[in-house]
Amino acid sequence: MRSFYQLVTFAFLQILLWSSNGAEAVNLKTRKKPTNARVGVELDRDLFNAGPETYVAGAPTVRAKADANRIIFMAHWRVSGPLSDGQLVQIAMDGYLDMLENVEQYGSAVGAKAIPGVITVFHWDQEIIVASSQSKGLPLTYTRNNHILPLIMECIQPATAKSNEAKCGEMSAAQLFVHLYPNTQINTKNIVTVTVEGNKEDIKGTTMAWLTQNGIKEPCNPAHGGGCAAIVGPGKVLRREVPVGTAPAPYSKNGWTQSDTQQISFILPDDQVVHA
């Protein structure tokens, strides 16, 4: 017969084992939307809760854990008119603060180390996408069988893989674009893009003042190639980036219509997506 001490020890070890096994597979049962939303950026909760995906044929592999909860915050809007570069900068900064508020709402499920580092904005025609970089899990660009990966691999030659494990904000936004418009080649839309980055030393403490002071983050451009800088330019995936030094400018959402994040979740089949 086991002693009381042995039983207690066994139970404690079982709890530790359960905790460690569940650390990479949290389930968020309730959707939480930012209450003070600026541009309505929120977690794709259904993607977070979904199981792992597998690599598409020919995709590079990364070191990320395949069974980890994938974390992407996003929003899509149909806007009422053209937006200036400065307004896009402000939208990106507002999106970052929305993301941080949403993180607080979900509590420990999205820990400080799992908060995406950047927010990227795409603008074309009368639409914008606001998307974070991807945190955890396999990168969507390497698990989704669409036209984005071939375009990227063509642009980043001779690099053998996209830098930052293909989880940059530009990658999330590009995947959301093709999810919304699976039959449209992204490089035909003359997309303007801008990215802002949070305070790496205190990401939860990132403020509008800090974002304004530090300004735009240029696309990654490592010496070995493979950076998002290689996919920006005439005839490439994205038409141009907002110049560094562009100051944020106020904008109005009058006449704008937002897509419901649940109805554009990355988990939905493309033909079930409903957007503004």
Instruction: Judge whether 8 lies within some domain.
Output: no
What are the φ/ψ torsions at residue 249 (nearest 5 degrees)? Answer: -130, 145
Identity at 171, one-letter amino acid code: M
User: Pairing mode, if any, of strands 240-241 and 192-197?
Assistant: parallel
Instruction: Judge whether 265 lies within some domain.
Output: yes
Average the pLDDT over 160-167 and give the result.
Answer: 92
How does pLDDT run across 96-132, given as a tens digit for each residue?
999 999 999 999 888 888 999 999 999 999 999 999 9
Instruction: Judge whether 248 lies within some domain.
Output: yes
Burial 57-94 (b: 16+ CB within 10 A, else e): eebbebebebebbbbbbbbbbebeeebebbbbbbbbbb
Instruction: Judge whether 16 lies within some domain.
Output: no
Query: How many domains does the chain fold into?
Result: 1
Average the pLDDT over 198-226 and give the result.
Answer: 93
Instruction: Judge whether 234 lies within some domain.
Output: yes
How does pLDDT run across 61-103, given as a tens digit for each residue?
998 899 899 999 999 999 999 999 999 999 999 999 999 999 9
Instruction: Judge whether 4 lies within some domain.
Output: no
CB atoms within 10 A of CB 19: 9
Q: Give the closest residue to 215 by CA, choosing from 248, 238, 168.
A: 248
Burial class of 215 by CB neighbour count within 10 A (0 to 12, 13 to 18, 19+) = middle
Instruction: Judge whether 12 lies within some domain.
Output: no
CB 53 within 8 A of CB 208: no
Whether the upstream peptide bond of residue 158 has omega within 30° of 0, thus cis, is yes
Domain containing 179 equals 37-272
Identity at 161, one-letter amino acid code: A
Average the pLDDT over 222-233 and give the result.
Answer: 90
Residue with tokens 């970052």: 96
Instruction: Judge whether 23 lies within some domain.
Output: no
* Residue 192 to residue 122: CA distance in whole angstroms: 6
Q: What is the pLDDT of residue 75?
A: 99
* Residue 146 to residue 175: CA distance in whole angstroms: 9
CB atoms within 10 A of CB 5: 8
* CA end-to-end span of the chain: 66
Q: E strands along the chain, which residues? A: 42-43, 73-78, 118-124, 127-132, 192-197, 240-241, 257-258
